[in-house]
Amino acid sequence: MIALIFANGSITNPSRLPEHDVLIAADGGANHCRRLGLTPDWVIGDLDSTDRSLLEQLQAAGTQVLRFPVRKDFTDLELAVLHAQDLGATQVVILAALGRRWDQTLANLLLPAATQFSSLQVKLLDGPQEITLIRPGEVRSICGQPGDTLSLIPLIGDARGITTTGLEYPLQDEDLLFGSTRGVSNVLLGTCAEIKLNSGMLICTLIHHDGESTDEN
């Protein structure tokens, strides 16, 4: 099951929405849904960024609302991802996760690394760019078009035992050190690259230069 979540950050309006089974708006993400003519299945959060009239319109159209107190231990986006997991989602795609507030942007970028989401595949999308997390022991295929830019950035210390195929600058059981930029700006040779990681974590970013996002396998 795939959950599509709209957060409340900046968004590059997608030419087409990713495939999904349930649509969730994290508070002000409901405003993005309205602009795109979408009716979310759920609106979740403290609702300080969504006006009452919009909520009433959405509820009349069948949207379910989960309201939380303003003083809480989780961001609205984390609550939305938790709810998607409770609904049975195995994949989560997030739009509008990045923006002008660096604290929110950093928190959203790191959210997929949370222990409670270790069984989820989480992808952040914005226009032609996508971000995914690669965990230790995984072999991940990242797909796009030849010439797309792929970067691998260590997240929690050094990332060790990385083997890649399908990239202009391959790695063969090598390490990327935390804070190093060695893994930035690699290039897809074909439509897919394969990445294997033994230990640590990697943030993988992919920039589609044809302007269209493709699915990750």
pTM of the model: 0.89
Instruction: Look at residue 15 in the predicted model and tell me its pLDDT.
Output: 72
Query: What does the chain come to in residues?
Result: 217
**How far is the CA of 34 from the CAs of 55, 59, 163, 194, in angstroms?**
10, 13, 43, 38
Domain boundary assignment for the chain: 2-127, 133-207
In this structure, CATH architecture of domain 2-127: 3-Layer(aba) Sandwich (3.40)
Interval 33-54: pLDDT, tens: 999 999 999 999 999 888 889 9
Instruction: Look at residue 71 in the predicted model and tell me its pLDDT.
Output: 87
Instruction: Look at residue 214 in the predicted model and tell me its pLDDT.
Output: 42
Instruction: Look at residue 16 in the predicted model and tell me its pLDDT.
Output: 80
CA 147/CA 41 separation, integer angstroms: 37
**Domain boundaries 133-207, CATH class:** mainly beta
DSSP string, 61-99: TT-EEEE--SS-SS-HHHHHHHHHHHTT-SEEEEES-B-
Instruction: Look at residue 211 in the predicted model and tell me its pLDDT.
Output: 46
pLDDT tens string, the chain, 217 residues long: the values are 999 999 999 988 777 889 999 999 999 999 999 999 999 999 999 998 888 899 999 999 999 999 999 888 899 999 999 999 999 999 999 999 998 889 999 999 999 999 999 999 999 999 899 999 999 999 999 999 999 999 999 998 999 999 999 999 999 999 999 999 999 999 999 999 999 999 999 999 999 997 444 444 4
Instruction: Look at residue 14 in the predicted model and tell me its pLDDT.
Output: 76
